[in-house]
Structure 1
Amino acid sequence: MMKVLVPYDFSQTADYALNFATGLSENYSGIEITVLHIIETPVATGMGTMGGGLDSVPEFENQIYFIELIERRKKQLKEIDEKFKDSAVTLKTKLVLGSVFKGITESIAEQSPDLIVMGSKGASGLEEVIVGSNTEKVVRTATCPVVTIKAETDVKKMKKIVFASDFRESDEKVANRIKRIQTVFDAQFYFVVVNTPGNFETTRESMNRIRTFVQKHHFENIKAEVYNSLSEESGIIEFADDIDADLIAMTTHGRTGLIHLITGSIAEDVVNHSKRPVWTYRVK
């Protein structure tokens, strides 16, 4: 049984993510999907929270709206339950009150999913540098792989997958995760190293590391590539564009705090800027 968590906010990108998750069941039997919707709890402010005064009127209206929103979301989630009740997809819905990121994090801890599928609009400018999206935060902290979706994606048509890495680390868990993707998708895999001016090495060195990784973990049906670009992020996206890839896969070290602000994350940059689905897995 593979457990899939789909954080869902009723947006178009969330629908893309849900369609992707349900589509996985056509390629991989034994998938259980949890559709998680989180309603942000309003923060009470002003003297009206103590009762009396003019401030109590808008506060009361906010409470009424919040109650109505809960009931509306319950009804919408029930419609999703009904839609898949008699299908081959094993699906359940869950409603949580609180902050979005905290709710997702707690659900990950409680359910231990094998995969998270999230819709993403990406982030740019000041938002990307300082705040980041909830999707980006989940990519950075989740203990299981995360697939981010920005457009409608037909699982059955995913035939080219790029795994971008420097292949300096030979983690058995990472190798097993990549093999699971191979199990789910009958696709051609491209193992690629991006060569940049600031981190230059010969093609021979890069290819040798890829071959060592492939041989150690007994991969099959792999194409090894070295791609030259001005940065790792742009190189990964450009290579995926050049071969018309259906999915980009990569690992992230999930740095947080000051070190994240200073160094950033190639994986998060790709998640933000790639138009293609991106599979990420946090390694220690």
Structure 2
Amino acid sequence: MIKVLVPFDFSPTAQHALNFATSLTEVYHHVEISVIHVLETPVTTGMGTMGGGLESIPDFQNQIFYMELIETRKKQFKELEEQYEGSKFSFKSKLVLGNVFKGINEAIQKESPDLVIMGSKGSSGLEEVIIGSNTEKVVRNASCPVITIKADTPIDKMKKVVFASDFRESDDHVAGRIKRMQAIFDAEFYFVVINTPGNFETTRESMERIRTFVRKYQFENIKAEIYNSLSEESGILEFADDVQADMIAMTTHGRTGLLHLITGSIAEDVVNHSKRPVWTYKTK
């Protein structure tokens, strides 16, 4: 059995993610799908120190709207449950009040899913720098693999997967996850090292690390590639475009705080800017 958590905000991208999750029944006989919707708690707008007066009106209106929204979400969840009743997979839904990322993160810790599948709209410019996205936070912190979806993605169309890495660290967990993904998608896998001006090395060096990784974990049907680009992020995206990949796979170290602000995250940048699904897994 595979347990899948789908954060759901009733947007088209969230529905794409849910559709992808339900299509896992084509390769797994037992799939348990848990859908979670986190409704942000409204922030009060009143500025009065003693209460009452005109400042309490916006708060009251917000509370009315919030209660109505809760009822709307409950009805929508009931409709979803009825839609998937009698399906091949197990389906359950949960409505949580509070902070979106915190709610999703707590659900991951409590339910221990094998996979998180979530929609991502992506962002750019000032919004990307200041706000970031809940998707990026989940990618950075989740203890299980995360697949981000931006468009309708039938699982039977998953024929080419790019796994981008420097292959400097041997990780049994990562290798196991990649092998499992191979079994799920029955796809052609490309193992690629991105060569950049700031971190240049010879093709022979890069290819030897890929071969060592492949031999150690006994991978089969792998294409090893070296791709030159100005940055790791652009190289991964460009290579995926060039081979017309259906998914990008990569690991992230899940850095937070000052180190994250200084170094950023290649995985999060790729998730944010990729037009195709991205599989990520946080390594220790």
For this structure pair, what is the TM-score category when the shorter chain's length is used for normalisation?
A: over 0.9
**1:28-53 Cα shifts (integer Å, max 9, x gaps):** 22211111001111123426796532
Contact 2:4 2:116 in 1 (8 A): yes
Mapped to 1, the partners of 2:50 and 2:116 lie a distance apart of 41
Identity %: 74
Return the alpha-carbon distance in structure 1 between the equivalents of residues 218 and 50 of structure 2: 66
Match of 2:112 in 1: 112
Give the conservation status (yes or no) of the 8 Å contact 1:143–1:282: yes
RMSD: 1.3
Alpha-carbon spacing, 1:183–1:93, altered in 2? closer, same or farther (3 Å): same
Q: 1:166 to 1:222 in 2, by over 3 A?
A: same
Q: Which residue of 1 aligns with 2:267?
A: 267
* Residue 220 of structure 2: aligned partner: 220
Aligned to 1:184: 184
Shift of the 123–10 alpha-carbon distance from structure 1 to 2, 3 Å rule, reads: same
> CA–CA distance in 2 between the matches of 1:29 and 1:189?
24
| Letter paired with 1:137 | K
Tell me the residue number matched to 2:61. Answer: 61
Closer, same or farther: CA 48–60 of 1 in aligned 2, 3 Å: farther
Range 40-49 or range 4-13, more displaced = 40-49
Match of 1:29 in 2: 29
TM-score by length of 2: 0.97
The answer as to whether partners of 1:47 and 1:53 remain within 8 angstroms in 2 is no
Q: Is the 8 A contact 2:46 2:58 kept in 1?
A: no
**Equivalent position of 2:278 in the other structure:** 278
Query: What is the one-letter code of the residue matched to 1:272?
Result: N
Alignment of 1:137-152 (within 5 A): 137-152=137-152
Q: Which 5+ residue runs of structure 1 have no aligned equivalent?
A: none
Amino acid at match of 1:143: S
CA distance in 2: counterparts of 1:163 and 1:235, whole angstroms: 12
**Is the deviation greater in 81-90 or in 55-64?**
55-64
Q: Over residues 128-149 of structure 1, what are the superposed CA-to-partner deviations in whole Å (9 max), with x where a residue is unaligned?
A: 2232100001111111111011
* SS at structure 1 position matched to 2:41: coil
Opposite residue 252 of structure 1, the aligned amino acid is T
Q: Which residue of 1 aligns with 2:93?
A: 93
Instruction: Specify the alignment match of 2:10 in structure 1.
Output: 10
Count of matched residue pairs: 284
Q: Which runs of 5+ in 2 are unaligned?
A: none
Q: How far did 1:99 drift?
A: 0.7
